[in-house]
Amino acid sequence: MKPVERERLDADVLIVGAGPAGLACALRLAQLIETNRDAAAAAGLSAENIYVLEKAREVGAHQLSGAILDPRALRELLPEFEQTAVAGVSDTPVSEDAVYFLTERRAWKFPVTPPPLRNHGHYVVSLNRLAKWLAERVEQAGINLFTQFAGAELIWNHTGIAGVLTEDKGLDKNGRPKPNYTPGYELRARVTVLAEGPRGSLTKTLVQRYGLDGVNPQVYGLGIKELWEVPAGRIRPGFVAHTMGWPLGTRLYGGGWIYGLQQNRVSLGLVVALEYPDPQFDPHAAFQKFKTHPFVRRLLEGGRLVRYGAKTLPYGGWYSMPRPYVDGGLIIGDSASLLNAQRLKGIHIGMKSGMLAAETIFEALCAGDTSAKALSVFQKKIEQSWIREELWPVRNFHQAFHGGLWSGLLHSALQMLTGGRGLRDPWRTRPGHEAYHRLDGQRSPTARFKGDGRLTFDRLTDVYHSGTRHEEDQPCHLIVADLNLCGTRCTIEYGNPCEYFCPAAVYEMTKERGERRLKINASNCVHCKTCDIMDPYEIITWVPPEGGGGPNYEGM
Amino acid sequence: MKIAVCVKQVPAKDAPLHIAPDGTWIRETDISFEMNEPDSYALEEALRLKEKHGGEVVAVSLGPERAKQTLKEALAKGADRGLHIADEEFYRLDPLTAARALARALEPERCDLVLTGLQSEDHGFGQTGVLLAELLGLPHATIIMSIEVQNETLRLKRELEAGWFQWLELPLPAVLTIQSGINKVRYATLKGIMAAKKKEIRTLLRTELLPSFELTQKLERIYVPQKTKKTEFLQGPPKEVAAKLLEKLKHEARVLGSS
Ligand SMILES: Cc1cc2nc3c(=O)[nH]c(=O)nc-3n(C[C@H](O)[C@H](O)[C@H](O)COP(=O)(O)OP(=O)(O)OC[C@H]3O[C@@H](n4cnc5c(N)ncnc54)[C@H](O)[C@@H]3O)c2cc1C
């Protein structure tokens, strides 16, 4: 085959992903160029030569979060935001915190809210809105922000990376060019920053190729969220509740959240660690069940679903942090495991990591040295910043819940007393899919959750409310290395977990002439990447589809 | 050739729609917006004509502030400049008033060709292009499937019902409403997006272009069609039941022709 002719563009800095981490990195770079004009001019740096790529149709469309914002990083980045722009950033300040333990019928309120879940001085936000607000500032600063373009492949140089190829557009489902075929660009940059969020598709190849894994492999949680509008008077704006226990019980790690927003809106959801033993566990159904608890039902009844979505988050913390630098490249935000699992917060840490990356890059470019050695300063900056102060004491937090909720709470109390060390340090983990128990043909497919259509929904109804859309005629972006395994070995050994873990009903086992075959409804994909994480044989690879495809998380 | 393309910003196709409290429009706060799909074909056609015959493509959008995003998209794909007719209460306008505002903005442009999509995906009136032609005093043709320009004359293919087409000729200048699927729409390129930043979007105020107007048409109420399910048992001997069933299928359910 003839090699594709690609147009080439050269940037100073290329940031892949316009989440809070990537946008904060871009904005901080623009600030540094602006305040150090002479140095920037001498090094030939300009804001126009900084590119940000985002695969979503517009910035924020793939942003889904709780979300409670700890404004620490945003205050450092844009000190005036609380005076001038709270309305653009925040829905409402947190007014009241509570933690509940749920049994099937009852809700027990913790007499005191544990300190890590206290949110006084924080804001309830829509990350979708926050990202849009930041993006406006990034564009005003002259940076080139390209939505509907994904980083599809890394451009390698012998010891690091030199940029990315963007995805080819206009290929049909067999990979043949359509009349509007547009080959991807060859985007080269002096420094490429991977800010892809959890389980980044480029980050994954980079970490694998150079063996950048930290002490532990990364482990993940899957968050399923719905945004509701409820009858007036049900919930105060700024009311923040977290729940433990039912429906997950005390063996599975995870919990629910309920946040009161302005205009009778409620953000609610359930996060489940992707390391559960039952391969037919269905996180979406668990969330639907959560809503039937009297405590939640009372709140929602008579209201209506506005949006739905699902996204993963990295739970591994400090010990799962990959080495975040290579020649010509940095990894920031969730992609670099920079999230506090104890506080369920990553926005502020992601942003701070982006700002530190920007400072590292600016110095490196001014010195004309973007080698791994020069960029390793980034790690030092993290270690000297409040990121380490926040993450180091909780380095064993998530691992402590390995034996369930009660022993987890004990261990984490012990860790709190010992500066995070606890009884085991470092506490090792395994990749989540290794937690599956084999079924060995002992179970047939379980009945699927249907929902009542008012309070609870099946997955297709929910996917409709995620605004997900893809060009239908394009190559499948969920690459299964061995389709023969699905209907044979996987059916027997694990009962096809893909049919259960996917919160968007992408994977479906069908019968064709008596043979079980996997059907992939790729157009439903909400880009959560659970399949890439939780398939038991690690044969599913998530790659970005044609830019612009995916969910539309307006207001999430 | 100077070509104007009218592009409207409409609720994104995937947006779960909810009706606003006053019952005459949808709630705009929860949804995002995009270029009306038929208009994106019109834009593509304009860009192709410009590539063939030279000239200029002016993208025009009547709508609130957010409609500028749609103009930017048009500029990124290759339109040369944008005209934004700003009106925050745009959704209240009927097609005649919208066409009047567009005509006022387009008159001084003296375009050779004005393209619009066949209809919008939100209101779906399908009248704006035709009314615009009338107000500009230009000939028009609708549901266009192909355009050829030969010395000041347009050779056009129109789609008719049941797989029929019509070929016709029109003199320039003219107004055409474009059928979806006439071409394969291009993707915006990185260079196009960068170049778009330097292109002009001029804003005109609808209140200045058209300070007063009287609506000729008013949306009384919009609602979601009621889904009804009805079960009825037909009883009697099979022959009779079959006859009754046929009757019902023809005249009540209307799924069979009644001839
Ligand atoms: C359910 C849930 C609840 C949460 N609640 C909170 C909370 O209350 N408070 C809090 O602080 N944090 C919370 N978090 C965590 C927080 O959302 C993340 O830590 C934060 O969003 C990470 O930012 P990021 O920029 O690193 O990645 P992301 O926000 O994931 O952004 C990455 C962006 O990159 C894009 N992208 C990815 N790959 C590519 C590619 N190859 N090419 C182009 N673009 C690409 C994606 O589309 C996305 O827009 C929550 C997370 C979840 C899932």
Cα B56 from Cα A215, distance rounded (Å): 60
Average pLDDT over residues A464-479: 96
Cα A90 from Cα B258, distance rounded (Å): 61
Name the range with the highest mean pLDDT among A407-421, A433-447, B193-207, B229-243. Answer: B193-207
CA of A347 to the centre of ligand 1 (A): 8
Q: Across the interface, do A9 and B189 touch by the CB < 8 Å criterion?
A: no
Residue B126 sits in the same domain as residue B248: no
Tokens of A247: 């429906």
Tokens of A398: 């998530």
Q: Across the interface, do B32 and A554 touch by the CB < 8 Å criterion?
A: yes
The domain defined by A8-65+132-217+318-394 carries CATH number 3.40.50.2300: no
Q: Across the interface, do A469 and B193 touch by the CB < 8 Å criterion?
A: no
Q: Which of B30, B191, B193 sits opposite A555 (nearest CB)?
A: B30
Residue B83 sits in the same domain as residue B47: yes
Q: Which residue has the tokens 């992408």?
A: A506
Instruction: Spell out which residues of chain A touch residue B189, defining contact as CB-CB under 8 Å.
Output: 7, 182
Top pLDDT among B8 and B22 is at B8
Cα B57 from Cα A534, distance rounded (Å): 50
The residue type of A161 is I
Average pLDDT, chain A: 94
Look up the domain containing B252 and give its range: 229-259
CA of A480 to the centre of ligand 1 (A): 25
Q: Is the pLDDT of residue B258 over 60?
A: no
As a CATH number, domain A89-124+218-314 is 3.30.9.90
Work out the widest C-alpha separation in chain B, in whole angstroms.
Answer: 78
Residue B140 sits in the same domain as residue B38: yes
Nearest Cα to Cα of residue A286 among A315, A324, A256: A256
Residue A402 is predicted with a pLDDT of 86
Report the number of distinct structural domains present in chain B. 2
Print burial letters for B56-80: b (CB count within 10 Å at least 16), e (below 16). Answer: bbbbbbbbbeebbbbbbbbbbbbbb
Cα A202 from Cα A544, distance rounded (Å): 10
Tokens of A424: 């085991």
Query: In this structure, what are the phi and psi dihedrals at residue A233, rounded to the nearest 5 degrees?
Result: 90, 0
Query: In this structure, what are the phi and psi dihedrals at residue B137, rounded to the nearest 5 degrees?
Result: 70, 35
CB atoms within 10 A of CB A481: 11
Average pLDDT over residues B156-175: 95
Q: B116: which strand partners?
A: B6, B177
Helix (H) or strand (E) holding B241: helix B238-251
Please state the domain extents for chain A.
Answer: 8-65+132-217+318-394, 89-124+218-314, 398-426, 434-542
3-state secondary structure of A294: helix
Q: Is residue B243 part of a domain?
A: yes
Query: In this structure, what are the phi and psi dihedrals at residue A68, rounded to the nearest 5 degrees?
Result: -105, 125
Average pLDDT over residues B13-19: 81
Query: Do the domains at A89-124+218-314 and A434-542 have one common CATH topology?
Result: no
Q: Is the pLDDT of residue B81 over 90?
A: yes
Residue B249 is predicted with a pLDDT of 86
Residue B91 is predicted with a pLDDT of 85
Q: Is residue B218 part of a domain?
A: no
Q: Is residue B223 part of a domain?
A: no
pLDDT tens for A139-162 read 999 999 999 999 999 999 988 999
Q: Is residue B224 part of a domain?
A: no
pLDDT tens for B37-67 read 999 999 999 999 999 999 999 999 999 999 9
Tokens of B227: 């889904």
Q: Is residue B117 part of a domain?
A: yes
pLDDT class of A512 with cuts at 50, 70, 90:
confident
Residue A88 is predicted with a pLDDT of 65
Residue B73 sits in the same domain as residue B189: yes
pLDDT tens for A214-229 read 999 999 999 999 999 9
Q: Say yes or no: CB of residue A347 within 6 Å of ligand 1.
A: yes
CB atoms within 10 A of CB A110: 14
Q: Is residue B45 part of a domain?
A: yes
Residue A167 is predicted with a pLDDT of 97
Angle, helix B67-77 to helix B37-53, in steps of 10 degrees: 30
Residue B57 sits in the same domain as residue B166: yes
Top pLDDT among B43 and B249 is at B43
Interface residue of A54, A308, A554 to substitute, partner B, most B CBs within 10 Å:
A554
Helix (H) or strand (E) holding B78: none
Tokens of A400: 């402590």
Q: Which of B12, B184, B188 sits opposite A552 (nearest CB)?
A: B12
Interface residue of B17, B31, B65 to substitute, partner A, most A CBs within 10 Å:
B31
Residue B259 is predicted with a pLDDT of 52
Residue B186 sits in the same domain as residue B244: no
Average pLDDT over residues B180-209: 95
Residue B31 sits in the same domain as residue B158: yes
Which ranges in B78-183 belong to alpha helices (H)? Answer: 95-106, 128-136
Average pLDDT over residues A302-326: 96
Residue B162 sits in the same domain as residue B250: no
CA–CA distances in Å: residue A108 to residues A54, A98, A289, A339: 43, 10, 18, 28
pLDDT tens for B86-123 read 999 888 899 999 999 999 999 999 999 999 999 999 98
Q: Is residue B157 part of a domain?
A: yes
Tokens of B184: 């394969």
Sequence-distant (≥ 6) Cβ neighbours of residue A191 within 8 angstroms: A12, A13, A14, A328, A329, A330, A361, A364, A365, A370, A375
Residue B26 sits in the same domain as residue B114: yes
Residue A86 is predicted with a pLDDT of 66
Sequence-distant (≥ 6) Cβ neighbours of residue A533 within 8 angstroms: A199, A220, A274, A312, A431, A432, A433
Angle, helix B95-106 to helix B128-136, in steps of 10 degrees: 50
CATH architecture assignment, domain A434-542 = 2-Layer Sandwich (3.30)
Q: Is residue B50 part of a domain?
A: yes
pLDDT tens for A99-149 read 999 999 999 999 888 888 888 889 999 999 999 999 999 999 999 999 999
* Half-sphere exposure of residue A35: CA atoms within 13 angstroms, side-chain side: 8
Residue B30 is predicted with a pLDDT of 75
Residue B232 is predicted with a pLDDT of 83
Report the residue of chain B nearest A307, measured CA to CA.
Answer: B16
Average pLDDT over residues A242-254: 93
Q: Say yes or no: CB of residue A154 within 6 Å of ligand 1.
A: no
Q: Is the pLDDT of residue A5 over 90?
A: no
State what percent of residues in chain A have pLDDT above 90. 86
Average pLDDT over residues A251-273: 94
CATH value at residue B86? 3.40.50.620
User: A291, A270 in Cβ contact below 8 A?
Assistant: no
User: A220, A528 in Cβ contact below 8 A?
Assistant: no
Task: Please enumerate, as own/partner, the contacts of A418-426 that have beta carbons within 8 Å and a separation of 24 or more.
Answer: A419/A392, A419/A393, A420/A392, A420/A393, A420/A394, A420/A395, A420/A396, A421/A396, A422/A396, A424/A396, A424/A399, A425/A395, A425/A396, A426/A215, A426/A216, A426/A319, A426/A395, A426/A396
- Over its C-alpha atoms, chain A yields an Rg (Å, rounded) of 23
Residue B26 sits in the same domain as residue B69: yes
Residue B248 sits in the same domain as residue B174: no
